[in-house]
């Protein structure tokens, strides 16, 4: 038997070079590139599953001659879970790319994109197996830059360049926080290798600094509110399968980082759990409120990523509060919920982004209000999108419900078990999660209803063309996983239990989640629901076949010439919620000006920008820019002088350390 | 033994009883209006007649429009199996079933709204938008109440929370319960589209919610929707009654009769509210729902303080 780590390292390296054949031979290499990517994914998933099932952890030392000690890579159940989602989503996206961006029609962009995509996949896998600070920061940077290059592939468009720039700035700000993070860890352990889990004390001031640096550094990547500003525009402007990869996998690296960080500590201060739970509630509620106000389908999905990151954080918060109160059941439920939601979100959000890509492919617009009636043109895509939409709302019997369910049970149990201590947090978080769920349902019924149902709102939508098989297949696979995990959650529960126990040893004493969260009964009730739906459908079908069925126009309130433009639009659907939350959303609206008996043609427009970016960050940075203009002279674009800066800095550092040793 | 008898009664109850509640409400409203009104059993006739009728489908609609009522009714029936009725355990009861209950109703709502949007009518879009919006405000109120019930009963299943709800709790946590009951009554009216939130009678006004969403449904689909709506009323009624009338005789037959009587009384109260109040201006509806959230949140705070 080959060691899982060999498989995973091979998969990582293979994925990184998967784009090369296409770069060499722009048209014929397409199939080879895709094949290499699939092979890499297969290897990677096999290795990850092996590592999960054998419950071992493995570490390799690689001497690389750099002054930071030998590099280290390793695999444990936590890494394995993230590897599964990296390779699953990247495989689906690379099949999809063949239909969405065929190299024969996009000779300049497709080869570059698939090269960067391969490097991105490799670096993502590299992040979760790195066990050494310098190696980690290197692959982290490769990921950031590969992703930047992939986002800006259509660099002729201004908004693409702007989105890319914003992403790059925030990514580097995050890296800066990670430098602080790793140097703090180094000052505790004296080594750049990651400490073994559970070896650091959580009560020191250094621990608090590490935790906060991790929240900023990893939080920027995950898109925790208020550090989410790069996310909407980057997701909206990237090619759709890259958006799927970013939302499904890339932002999860932030979650990975946070879980990895807390796993290093033997004790968790109570305020860590509360902070994460609170950040989760804020990201969840505000993320979904912003999502409802959007009318660009990809921006809308991007805001939902922020919401789902919030739900994942709530799970982590429950887990941490369980660790500090020493209640194993909470640790397991919270962590299992967070991990499963991470996996689920990777599945249904990439499904939805691929679906959005299929819509854009079919009718050429990201504006929901230009769509309509698409279910008749692209029925399979509509079905897959519906599965994704029901799953992301957390509705039974699909996978999104199962992970939210675990978090809910954790919250309710926490409220009952921990009552002498700190219950208000648990009790307040449950209704917040319910609010998030209801808002998400409102938002997705809007997207699905306006885009796929009713009559076409534009000529492009009326003449939408079908989606090629290479785009349908990956969506079908992802939708299948949504249904599978939803109907048989007890199948994946043992893997989550193993992982939770490997992160926090205290969790090993907890009851099986299949029992504490009654996953078996849940699965049975889901089956019962399916049977009830089947019975009701048969009865109805039978009834329809026996009674007369007539076709007639939709009732138009007595109006004789209804047009498609009279349908409810996405902005009208969201109007009441938007006005309820307008003080938060700060929408830009242009109201019509109607007066007189015969008013002229009028128009109404509304747009909800990223309020935090426009109202807080940009003014702040503009201000900083004008005040710090003195220092801009240092940055003049002359390369030789930059090298001089580096040399001067190095020499002064050497001198400083020399004197410090003497003194 | 008792369990074996209770399950068939529970099933019979959800199959047969709900339309009677609509009949009683309409009868009460007729009485207040000084009319004779339709017979109390009229909703049964309506449902049977609609079931036998033909259907009209708009060419704008797709398979979603036909799937909507099917999924809605299946989800509500599944939810009904988890709500204890008549002071007896529900047929399906497990830890966390109240969450599944709320989310099954959410699933039903999702497909009702999707079917409404499928007609491409601005009128039904309006109804759908309102339903979705008001649900967002009602959901936290329901969950605050569930938190209160979980804290009081120290159980996280509907049967554990509601069945054997001891009357003595009213002495201990009366204030909290009173606030919660207020919130639950607002929820009951809002979720079932009664006055002052919605008027089930006049579906041709621009301010309607539920009725306007199902405007294009006809024949068997409309029968299913009508029955589903009455079943939902029964479920919210049961939640309300188990808390407000927490008495148990010991004889299971007497308990079922008491429950049936209490449900009919509740239907009369709803009828009285509908007869004596005007429907709220649409812009006021969110305010009342937020008030329900605040009431139940206060109930939660009171319960928290008490037991910790």
Q: Using the structure block, give the residue that is written with the tokens 């419950």.
A: A55
| Spatial distance between the Cα atoms of A571 and A583, rounded to a whole number of angstroms | 17
Residues 426-455 of A with CB under 8 A from B: 427, 430-435, 437-439, 441-442, 444-446, 448-450, 452-455
Compare all CA atoms of chain A with the CA of B61 and give the residue at the minimum distance: A454
pLDDT of residue B206: 64
Q: Which site among A336, A383, A412, A520 would you substitute to test the B interface, given the most B Cβ atoms closer than 10 Å to its Cβ?
A: A412
pLDDT band for position A420 (50/70/90)? low
- Cβ <8 Å between B106 and A575: no
Predicted pLDDT of residue A202: 83
Q: How far apart are CA B31 and CA B45, in angstroms?
A: 20
- Domains of chain B, residue spans: 2-307
Contact: B110, A390; criterion CB under 8 Å: yes
Higher-confidence residue of B48 and A105: namely B48
First to last CA, chain A: 56
CA distance B296 to B188: 14
Q: What is the mean pLDDT of residues A555-583?
A: 83
Nearest to B243 by CA among B306, B161, B298, B187: B161
From chain A, the residues in CB contact with B116 under 8 A are: 449
Q: Are B267 and B288 in contact (CB under 8 A)?
A: no
CA neighbor of B118 nearest in space, from B265, B216, B9: B216
Which region holds residue A196: left if phi is over 0, alpha if psi is between -120 and 50, else beta?
beta
**Is residue A380 within 8 Å of residue A467, measured between CB atoms?**
yes
With tokens 């505790």, the residue in question is A188
Q: Return the ∠ at Cα A250 (arms to A468 and A357), rounded to 5°.
A: 25
Closest CA of chain A from B127, distance in Å: 9
Residues of A in contact with B81 (CB under 8 A): 528
Q: Which of chain A's residues have a Cβ under 8 Å away from the Cβ of B284?
A: none
The answer to whether A413 touches B156, Cβ cutoff 8 Å, is yes
pLDDT (0 to 100) of residue A23: 84
Residue corresponding to tokens 């309102």? B130
Q: Can you read off the two tokens belonging to residue A27?
A: 């048209």
**Sequence-ordered list of residues with C-beta below 8 angstroms from that of B33, at least 6 positions apart, any chain:** B275
**Cβ-defined contact of A396 to B107 (cutoff 8 Å):** yes
Strand ranges in A258-341 using DSSP code E only, listed in sequence order: none
- pLDDT tier for residue A204 given thresholds of 50, 70 and 90: confident
Alpha-carbon distance A659 to A325, whole Å? 48
Where does the pLDDT of residue A416 fall: very low under 50, low under 70, confident under 90, or very high at 90 and above?
confident
Torsions phi, psi for B57 (to 5 deg): -120, 135
Contact assignment for A567 to B147 by CB distance below 8 Å? no
Least confident of A348-352, A503-507, B132-136: A503-507
Query: pLDDT at residue B207 above 70?
Result: no
- Which chain B residues contact residue A562 at CB under 8 A? 121
Question: Taking a C-beta distance cutoff of 8 angstroms, is the pair B201, B209 a contact?
Answer: no
Rounded Cα distance between A606 and A293, Å, is: 9
Residue A115 has pLDDT above 60, yes or no: yes
- Decide if A445 and B74 are in contact by the 8 Å CB cutoff: no
Query: Rounded to an integer, what distance in angstroms lies between the CA atom of residue A91 and that of residue A41?
Result: 6
What's the DSSP call for residue A249?
A: I
pLDDT at A314: 96
Q: How far is A84 from chain B (nearest CA, A)?
A: 29
pLDDT tens for each residue of A505-556: 888 877 788 888 889 999 999 999 999 999 999 999 999 999 998 988 887 7
Q: What is the pLDDT of residue B101?
A: 95
What is the average per-residue pLDDT within A368-395?
A: 93
B307 — pLDDT class (breaks 50, 70, 90): low
**How far is Cα B164 from Cα A462, in angstroms, rounded to an integer?**
58
CA distance A254 to B34: 67
Of A256, A259, A310, A303, nearest to A280 (Cα)?
Answer: A310
Q: What is the CA radius of gyration of chain A?
A: 26
User: CA-CA distance, A391 to A383, in Å (whole number)?
Assistant: 12
Contact B104 A557 (CB under 8 A): no
| Mean of the per-residue pLDDT values of chain A | 90
Q: Are the C-beta atoms of residues A93 and A116 closer than 8 Å to each other?
A: no
Cβ-nearest to B96 among A408, A552, A555 = A408
Asked if A572 has any chain B CB less than 8 Å from its own CB, the reply is yes
Residue A417: is its pLDDT beyond 80?
A: no
Cβ atoms of B50 and A513 within 8 Å: the answer is no
Whether the Cβ atoms of residue A608 and residue A585 lie closer than 8 Å to each other? yes
pLDDT band for position A486 (cuts 50, 70, 90): very high
Burial class (CB within 10 angstroms; exposed 0-12, middle 13-18, buried 19+) of A176: middle
Predicted confidence band of residue B204 (pLDDT cuts 50, 70, 90) = low
Weakest mean pLDDT among A524-538, B148-162, B187-201: B187-201
- DSSP output for chain B: -HHHHHHHHHHHHHHHSHHHHHHHHHHHHHHHTT---S-TTHHHHHHHHHHHS-EEE-TT--HHHHHHHHHHHHHHHHHHTTS--TTS--SS--TTHHHHHHHHHHHHHHHHHHHHHTTT-HHHHHHHHHHHHHHHHHHHHHHHHHHHHHHHHT-SSHHHHHTT--TTHHHHSHHHHHHHHHHHHHHHHHHTT-TTT--SS-TTSTT-SHHHHTTT--HHHHHHHHHHHHHHHHHHHHHHHHHHS----S-HHHHHHHHHHHHHHHHHHHHHHHHHSPPPPGGGHHHHHHHHHHHHHHHHHHHHHHH-
What percentage of chain B carries pLDDT values higher than 70? 96
pLDDT value of residue B202 = 66
Mean pLDDT, residues B139-164: 90
Q: Which of residues 343-372 of A touch B (CB under 8 A)?
A: 372
Q: Do A550 and B77 touch (CB under 8 A)?
A: no
Q: Residue A662 above 80 pLDDT?
A: no
Report yes or no: A80 and A58 within 8 Å, Cβ to Cβ.
no
Task: Dump pLDDT digits (tens) for B73-100.
Answer: 999 999 999 999 988 889 999 999 999 9
User: Would you state the structure tokens that stand for residue B70, as one six-digit string?
Assistant: 């099917």
CA distance B96 to B75: 17
Signed CA dihedral, B249, B253, B256, B261: sign only: negative
- Whether residue A226 has a cis bond before it, omega within 30° of 0: yes
Judge contact between A83 and A125, C-beta under 8 A: yes
Tokens representing A65? 């001659």
Find residues 473-532 of chain A whose CB sits inside 8 Å of chain B.
516-518, 521-522, 525, 528-529, 532
Q: How far is A409 from chain B (nearest CA, A)?
A: 6
Q: What is the pLDDT of residue A22?
A: 85
Cβ separation A580–B109 shorter than 8 A: no
Contacts of residue A566 in chain B, CB cutoff 8 Å?
122
Kindly list the residues from chain B whose CB atom is less than 8 angstroms away from the CB atom of residue A337: none
pLDDT, residue A421, reads 54
Give the chain B residue nearest A523 (alpha carbons): B100
Contact (Cβ atoms closer than 8 angstroms) between residue B187 and residue B141: yes
pLDDT band, very low/low/confident/very high, at A170 (cuts 50, 70, 90):
very high
Nearest to A410 by CA among A486, A279, A500: A500
């Amino acid at each position: 038997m080959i060691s899982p780590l060999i498989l995973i390292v091979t998969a990582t390296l293979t994925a990184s070079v998967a784009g090369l054949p296409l770069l060499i031979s722009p048209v014929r290499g397409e199939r080879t590139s895709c094949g290499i990517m699939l092979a890499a994914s297969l290897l990677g998933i096999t290795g990850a599953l092996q590592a999960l099932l054998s419950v071992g952890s493995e570490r390799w030392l690689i001497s690389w001659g750099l002054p930071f000690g030998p590099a280290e890579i390793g695999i444990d159940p936590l890494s394995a879970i993230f590897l599964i989602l990296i390779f699953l989503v990247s495989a689906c996206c690379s099949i999809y790319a063949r239909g969405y961006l065929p190299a024969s029609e996009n000779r300049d962009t497709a080869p570059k994109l698939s090269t960067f995509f391969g490097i991105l996949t490799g670096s993502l896998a590299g992040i979760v197996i790195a066990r050494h600070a310098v190696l980690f920061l290197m692959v982290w940077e490769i990921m950031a830059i590969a992703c930047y290059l992939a986002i800006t592939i259509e660099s002729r468009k201004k908004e693409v360049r702007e989105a890319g720039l914003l992403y790059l700035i925030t990514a580097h700000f995050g890296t800066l926080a990670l430098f602080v993070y790793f140097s703090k860890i180094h000052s505790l352990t004296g080594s750049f290798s990651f400490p073994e889990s559970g070896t650091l004390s959580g009560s020191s001031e250094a621990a608090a600094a590490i935790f906060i640096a991790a929240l900023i550094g990893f939080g920027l990547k995950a898109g925790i509110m208020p550090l989410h500003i790069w996310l909407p525009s980057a997701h909206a402007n990237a090619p759709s399968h890259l958006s799927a990869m970013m939302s499904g996998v890339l932002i999860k690296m932030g979650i990975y980082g946070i879980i990895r960080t807390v796993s290093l500590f033997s004790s968790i201060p109570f305020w860590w759990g509360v902070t994460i739970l609170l950040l989760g509630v804020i990201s969840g509620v505000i993320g979904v409120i912003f999502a409802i106000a959007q009318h660009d389908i990809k921006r809308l999905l991007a805001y939902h990523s922020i919401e789902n990151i919030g739900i994942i954080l709530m799970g982590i918060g429950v887990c941490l509060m369980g660790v500090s109160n020493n209640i194993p059941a909470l640790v397991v439920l919270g962590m299992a919920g967070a991990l499963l939601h991470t996996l689920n979100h990777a599945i249904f959000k990439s499904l939805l982004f691929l679906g959005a890509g299929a819509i854009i492919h079919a009718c050429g617009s990201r504006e929901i209000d230009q769509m309509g009636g698409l279910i008749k043109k692209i029925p399979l895509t509509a079905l897959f999108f519906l599965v994704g939409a029901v799953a992301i709302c957390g509705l039974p019997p699909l996978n999104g419900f199962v992970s939210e369910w675990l978090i809910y049970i954790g919250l309710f149990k926490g409220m009952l078990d921990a009552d002498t201590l700190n219950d208000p947090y648990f009790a307040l978080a449950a209704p917040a999660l319910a609010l998030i769920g209801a808002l998400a349902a409102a938002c997705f019924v809007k997207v699905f209803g306006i885009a796929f149902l009713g009559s076409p709102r534009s000529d492009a939508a009326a003449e939408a063309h079908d989606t090629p098989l290479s785009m349908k297949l990956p969506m079908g696979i992802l939708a299948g996983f949504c249904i599978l995990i939803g109907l048989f959650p007890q199948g994946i529960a043992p893997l989550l239990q193993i992982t939770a126990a490997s992160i926090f040893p205290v969790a090993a004493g907890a009851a099986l989640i299949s029992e504490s969260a009654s996953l078996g009964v849940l699965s049975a009730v889901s089956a019962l629901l399916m049977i009830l739906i089947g019975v009701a459908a048969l009865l109805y079908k039978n009834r329809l076949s026996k009674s007369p069925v007539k076709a007639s126009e939709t009732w138009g309130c007595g109006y004789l010439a209804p047009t498609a433009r009279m349908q409810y639009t996405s902005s009208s659907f969201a109007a009441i919620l938007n006005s309820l939350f307008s003080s938060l959303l700060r929408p830009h609206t242009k109201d019509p000006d109607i007066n007189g008996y015969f008013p002229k043609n009028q128009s109404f427009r509304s747009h909800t920008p990223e309020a935090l970016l426009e109202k807080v960050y940009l003014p702040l940075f503009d201000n900083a820019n004008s005040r710090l203009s003195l220092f801009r002279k240092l940055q003049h674009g002359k390369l030789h002088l930059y090298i001089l800066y580096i040399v001067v800095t190095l020499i002064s550092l050497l001198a400083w350390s020399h004197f410090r040793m003497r003194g | 033994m008792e369990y074996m008898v209770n399950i068939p009664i529970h099933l019979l109850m959800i199959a047969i009883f709900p339309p009677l509640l609509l009949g009683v409400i309409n009868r009460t409203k007729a009485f207040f209006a000084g009319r004779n009104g339709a017979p109390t059993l009229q909703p049964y006739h309506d449902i049977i007649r609609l079931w036998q009728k033909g259907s009209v489908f708009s060419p704008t609609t797709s398979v979603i429009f036909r799937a909507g009522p099917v999924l809605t009714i299946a989800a509500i029936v599944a939810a009904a199996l988890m709500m204890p009725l008549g002071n007896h355990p529900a047929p399906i009861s497990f830890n966390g079933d109240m969450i599944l209950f709320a989310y099954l109703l959410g699933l039903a709502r999702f497909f009702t709204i999707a079917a409404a949007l499928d007609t491409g009518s601005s009128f039904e879009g309006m109804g759908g938008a309102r339903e979705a919006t008001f649900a967002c405000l009602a959901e936290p109120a329901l969950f605050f109440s569930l938190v209160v019930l979980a804290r009081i009963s120290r159980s996280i299943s509907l049967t554990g929370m509601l069945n054997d709800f001891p009357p003595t709790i009213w002495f201990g946590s009366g204030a909290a319960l009173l606030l919660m009951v207020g919130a639950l009554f607002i929820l009951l009216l809002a979720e079932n589209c009664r006055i002052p939130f919605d008027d089930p009678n006049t579906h041709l006004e621009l301010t309607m919610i539920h009725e306007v969403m199902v405007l294009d449904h006809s024949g068997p689909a409309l029968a299913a929707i009508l029955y589903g709506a009455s079943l939902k009323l029964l479920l919210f009624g049961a939640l309300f009654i188990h808390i407000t009338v927490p008495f148990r005789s010991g004889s299971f037959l007497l308990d079922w009769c008491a429950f049936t009587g209490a449900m009919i009384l509740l239907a009369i109260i709803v009828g009285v509210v509908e007869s004596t109040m005007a429907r709220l201006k649409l812009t006021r509806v969110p305010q009342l729902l937020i008030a329900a959230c605040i009431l139940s949140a206060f109930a939660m705070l009171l319960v928290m303080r008490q037991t910790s």
